[in-house]
C-alpha cells in the first residue's frame, strides 16, 4: 500500500526568512509611497490653501475620490485599466502609484491645516520684516505649521504602511501575501499571523518612537 501524499508541511526556518523578505518588500513599497505621496500632499495642500476657489473646483474633488473610494477598489481598477491606457506596470509599480496618490490625498488636508495653523498676524509680521513670500513659507510657516501637524502626518504614514497589505490582491508578495502562502502550506494560521503582526510592529514601532522623541525635543 502506497503511503498517503501530504500537501502540507510544518513551519521551517526558511519560512521565517521568507517572511522577513516580504517585510522588506512591505517597507519598500510603503517607503516609496509615503515619501513621494507626502511631497505631493504638501504641494496639493499648499494649492488648496492658496488657490481656494480654483482648487476647490478642480483639485479638491479629485482628492476626495482617492480619500473616499476604498483602497482595494482603487488598486484593482488601476491595475486592470493601466494596460488599456498603454501602461505596462508590474504589481509593485501599480501598487506604489495608487498608494502614493492615496497618501497624497490624505497629506494634502494635513498640509493645508498646517499652513492654516500659522496665524495671519505672524505672517504679516514676517512680511513686514522684509521677508519674501517664499522666505515666509520656509522660515515661519514650515517650522510652526509642520510641528503642529507632525503627529497627524505620522498617523497617515503608519496608516499607509498598514494599508500596503492590500497590494497583495495584485499578486505583490508583501507581508500579508507571504503569510497567506505560508498558512495555506503549513495550516498554522495562529503562529503565522502572530509572526506577521510582530513584523508589522517591528516596522511601525521605530517610527512611532522616533516621532515621539522629535515632539519631545520640539516641546523643550
pLDDT tens string 56-92: 778 888 888 898 899 999 999 999 988 888 888 899 9
Inform me whether the pLDDT recorded for 4 exceeds 50.
no
Gap between the terminal Cα atoms of the chain: 77
- Residue 138, in any domain of the structure: yes
pTM, two decimal places: 0.87
* CB atoms inside a 10 Å sphere around CB 4: 5
* CB atoms inside a 10 Å sphere around CB 183: 16
Distance, C-alpha 58 to centroid of its chain: 24
- Residue 22, in any domain of the structure: no
- Residue 104, in any domain of the structure: yes
Segments forming the whole domain that contains residue 165? 28-51+62-219
Contacts (Cβ under 8 Å, ≥6 apart) of 191: 11
- Residue 66, in any domain of the structure: yes
In the block, residue with C-alpha cell 522629535: 214
DSSP state string for 131-189: --HHHHIIIIIHHHHHHHHHHHHHHHHHHHHHHGGGGGGGT---HHHHHHHHHHHH--H
Backbone angles phi, psi at 21, to 5 degrees: -65, -40
Query: Averaged over 197-206, what is the pLDDT?
Result: 89
Give how many domains the chain has, as a whole number.
1
> What are the angstrom distances between the C-alpha of 38 and each of 118, 194, 220?
20, 31, 26
- Residue 124, in any domain of the structure: yes
Name the burial class of residue 218, with classes exposed (0-12), middle (13-18) and buried (19+) by CB atoms within 10 angstroms of its CB. Answer: exposed
> What are the angstrom distances between the C-alpha of 156 and each of 103, 124, 150, 162?
7, 31, 10, 10
Give pLDDT tens digits for 27-56: 999 999 999 999 999 999 998 888 776 667
Overall size of the chain counted in residues: 220
Residue 170, domain CATH: 1.10.3720.10
- Residue 127, in any domain of the structure: yes
- Residue 203, in any domain of the structure: yes
- Residue 167, in any domain of the structure: yes
Amino acid at each position: 500500500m502506497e503511503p498517503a501524499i501530504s500537501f502540507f508541511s510544518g513551519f521551517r526556518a526558511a519560512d521565517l526568512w521568507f517572511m522577513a523578505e516580504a517585510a522588506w518588500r512591505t517597507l519598500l513599497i510603503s517607503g516609496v509611497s509615503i515619501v513621494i505621496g507626502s511631497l505631493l500632499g504638501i504641494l496639493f495642500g499648499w494649492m488648496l490653501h492658496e488657490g481656494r476657489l480654483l482648487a476647490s473646483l478642480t483639485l479638491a474633488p479629485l482628492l476626495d475620490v482617492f480619500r473616499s473610494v476604498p483602497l482595494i477598489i482603487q488598486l484593482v481598477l488601476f491595475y486592470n485599466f493601466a494596460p488599456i491606457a498603454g501602461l505596462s506596470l508590474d504589481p509593485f509599480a501599480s501598487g506604489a502609484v495608487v498608494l502614493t496618490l492615496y497618501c497624497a490625498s490624505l497629506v494634502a488636508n494635513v498640509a493645508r491645516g498646517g499652513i492654516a495653523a500659522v496665524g495671519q498676524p505672524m505672517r504679516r509680521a514676517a512680511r513686514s520684516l522684509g521677508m519674501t513670500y517664499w522666505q515666509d513659507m520656509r522660515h515661519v510657516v514650515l517650522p510652526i505649521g509642520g510641528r503642529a501637524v507632525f503627529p497627524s502626518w505620522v498617523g497617515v504614514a503608519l496608516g499607509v504602511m498598514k494599508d500596503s497589505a492590500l497590494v497583495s490582491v495584485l499578486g505583490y508578495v508583501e507581508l500579508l501575501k507571504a503569510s497567506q502562502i505560508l498558512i495555506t502550506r503549513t495550516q498554522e494560521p495562529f503562529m503565522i499571523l502572530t509572526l506577521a503582526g510582530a513584523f508589522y510592529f517591528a516596522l511601525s514601532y521605530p517610527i512611532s518612537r522616533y516621532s515621539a522623541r522629535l515632539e519631545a525635543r520640539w516641546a523643550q
